[in-house]
Amino acid sequence: MKIELKNIKHMESLSEETNCYTASLHVDGKKIGEVSNHGHGGPDMFHGDQAAYDEANSWIKANEPPLDSEYGDFQLKWKGVRKVEEAHIAVARKKLPGAKILNDLPFDEALALYIANG
C-alpha cells in the first residue's frame, strides 16, 4: 500500500506546540481526504473517506514498526476532567493493555517513571 501526503502547506508562523499544516492524503494514488493540524498542540485531523483512512491505518499498524516520538508512546486526555477516576483508568487499560498507567501506580514509582521517560 502506498500512502502519501501531497500539496503540503506548512504555516511556520502559526506553529506553536506542533506544526501547523494542511495536506491531501493519498492511498495507492487516490486522494482519500485532507489532513491538518492547527499547531496548538492538538492531534492531527482527518476529513474525507473514513473507511479508506481506517483501512490504511490498519495496514500501517500491521506492516510498519511503531514510530519513536520525543513525546513518548501515548497519552490519553479527557477535556474538562479535573480528576482522573477509575473509569478513566479502565479506558486506558482497555486501549493500552500492558501499559504502565502513572495514575494507577504508587507516587514514588510513577514519579521515577515520569522523570526517566518524560
| Banded pLDDT at 34 (limits 50, 70, 90) | very high
How confident is the model over 63-111, as pLDDT tens digits?
887 665 544 456 666 666 677 778 878 888 888 888 888 888 898 998 8
pTM exceeds 0.85 for this model: no
Handedness of CA 82, 84, 88, 94 (dihedral sign): positive
Cell of 3: 500512502
Q: By C-alpha distance, which of 28, 36, 38, 22 is closest to 4?
A: 28
CA-nearest of 37, 34, 36 to 47 is: 34
Can you give the pLDDT at residue 78? 65
* pLDDT at res. 71: 45
pLDDT at 81: 67
Q: What's the number of CA atoms in the CB half-sphere (13 Å) around residue 29?
A: 0
**Long-range contacts formed by 63-68: CB under 8 A, 24+ apart:** 63/1
